[in-house]
Structures are given as structure tokens and as C-alpha cells.
Amino acid sequence: MSNNNLLTVHIVTFRDGKKGTVPFSYIKREEKEKPMALDVLMQAQSEKIPDLAFRYGCRARNCGVCTININDKPRVACRARVKDGDKLSALSTLPKLSDLVVRRDGIARQMKGLKIPSAGNDLNIDAPEEYHELTACIECYACLDKCPMHAKNIDNESFGEGFSGYKYGNPFSLLKLERICLDPLTSDKGKEAALQKAIDLDLKTCLDCPGCKCGVGIDLKGKVIKPLLEKAKKRFDL
Ligand code: SF4
Ligand code: SF4
Ligand code: FES
């Protein structure tokens, strides 16, 4: 086989608390193929590293669980093409479990205990356009990258019994809270609870931050952070 049919990447493994790097040459189906990172990981697992750990679900950029770092930047592996020499590693913003698998529950648990009273169940009320835009979130957690609010969690990590999620927020959690605020079925009390939660997660950090970037193109700065800060300023004198 000609070398033009091979594409070599460097896969960063994580075993027993130690990092390693394994070069892997992906065999392309045709010379012109530009494989997705997930294709490469799957072939690496079947051909060279049988116990290589990584996650995937839908393979169609819907579930978000396949997100890894490519050359130290978060990318959705089933939709990110790789090139010769690329480095594939676990997301750097969450604790590593094994190889490219990270612990994700610290984010989801942030909302534990949050009670949002509903304004009723009138399905004829239309949600505003911004609400629908925010439903495009696939929970990939790419937006955690370089978020100074989430970075504060590093010193506060404790996953023991009773762990109820990270203390400090992140763009994804704020998106969920802004979505609750925009939902026409959320009562005024519910909106206030969501806003208070955003403030408790340290929304103030966003005041001095240039903004966050979404892996699927949601305007986080304009559609999440700005409206939350506006509401917080008005109600809580931020
Ligand atoms: S604007 Fe806020 S949520 Fe976004 S990256 Fe900055 S601190 Fe994090
Ligand atoms: S806001 Fe964007 S980057 Fe963040 S979890 Fe949702 S889809 Fe991913
Ligand atoms: S496998 Fe579901 S988004 Fe990649």
C-alpha cells in the first residue's frame, strides 16, 4: 500500500494515572479520504490498541459525548476531520478517567436540587426564537475550554460521596439557565430561581471575560451571557 493511504496521528492514552502517547497510522479507504477523528479512534481500537477507551453515541453530532481534544482544542470527534500529525487526547477541562474518556457528571449535577415552578401547561404558547436557538446545544462541553469560571473548579474538585456537582459554572450550565428563563412555561418564580442559580454559579466572572465559544455555533455571548447579565444587573444590583 502506498504511504499516501496512511495518515498518522498521535493518541494520548491515560492509564493508572500516567499519560502515554501511541502513534497510529490510519489506513484510508481511498487516497482522498479525510477521516473523522472518531473513525481513526475506532480503527486504532480494532487494529492496534484493543483496550483504547473513548466514548461515542449517535455518530451524527447529536449527543455530544464523543468530544475530545484535537491538537489541544475541543472538537466533536464524529464530525472533526483529522490530518497527518494531529494529536488526539482527552478534553483537558474535565477529570480524565481512562484514555480519552472524561468524567462528565460534575456538570450535570450542578442543577441538582434546583426547583423551577411551572406557570402551567399551556402548549399553545409559543417559545421565543432565542429559546429554540438554545435547544441546538448538544451537551458536548466544548465551551468549557478557557472559561475562567469553570477553571476555578480545579482547586475545588472533590468527587467523594455526596458530590453534588461543581461549585462554579460554565457556559453550558448558563445556557440551560437562560433557556429556563426564556421558556414560556416557566413561572416568574422559576425564572428568578434560574437567575439566582446563575448568580450562585458565579455569573459575575462573565463581566470581565471576553466571552465563550460554542462547538456548534450557538451565540453564547449574545444569547446567553448578555441577557443573563442584563437580568442580574437589574434584579440583584450586580
Ligand atoms: S463569558 Fe462567562 S461562561 Fe463564558 S467563558 Fe467567560 S466566564 Fe465562562
Ligand atoms: S453550548 Fe455549545 S459548546 Fe457548550 S455544550 Fe452546548 S453545544 Fe457544546
Ligand atoms: S457520537 Fe454523538 S456527537 Fe459524536
The residue extents of the domains of the chain are: 3-102, 105-236
Query: Which pLDDT band holds residue 237 (cuts at 50, 70, 90)?
Result: low
Please tell me the distance from the alpha carbon of residue 52 to that of residue 43, in angstroms, as a whole number: 10
Q: What mean pLDDT is predicted for residues 146-175?
A: 83
Above 80 in pLDDT, residue 160? no
pLDDT digits (tens, 9 = 90+) for 89-98: 999 999 999 9
Please tell me the distance from the alpha carbon of residue 69 to that of residue 117, in angstroms, as a whole number: 38
**Ligand nearest 219 Cα, by number?**
2
Coil, strand, or helix at residue 12? strand
Q: What is the pTM (predicted TM-score) of this model?
A: 0.92
CATH superfamily, with its number, for domain 3-102: Beta-grasp domain (3.10.20.30)
Please tell me the distance from the alpha carbon of residue 238 to that of residue 203, in angstroms, as a whole number: 9
Q: What is the grid cell recorded at 178?
A: 437562560
Residue whose CB lies within 8 A of the most ligand 2 atoms, among 69, 140, 178, for a mutation test = 140
Cβ–Cβ < 8 Å for 159, 103: yes
Please tell me the distance from the alpha carbon of residue 64 to that of residue 91, in angstroms, as a whole number: 12
**Ligand nearest 169 Cα, by number?**
1
Q: What mean pLDDT is predicted for residues 210-223?
A: 95
In terms of Cα–Cα distance, which of 206, 62, 230 is closest to 146? 206
Model pLDDT, residue 136: 97
Contacts of 109 (CB under 8 A, 6+ apart): 163, 164, 165, 166
Model pLDDT, residue 179: 97
- Look up residue 57 and give its amino acid: G
Ligand 1 pocket (Cβ < 6 Å) reads 147-149, 171, 174, 205-206, 209, 211-212, 225
Model pLDDT, residue 162: 62
Query: Which pLDDT band holds residue 137 (cuts at 50, 70, 90)?
Result: very high
Ligand 3 pocket (Cβ < 6 Å) reads 56-59, 61-66, 76-78
CATH architecture of residue range(s) 105-236: Orthogonal Bundle (1.10)
Q: What is the grid cell recorded at 103?
A: 468524567
Model pLDDT, residue 119: 73
- The dihedral sign for the CA sequence 185, 132, 126, 129: positive
Above 70 in pLDDT, residue 12? yes
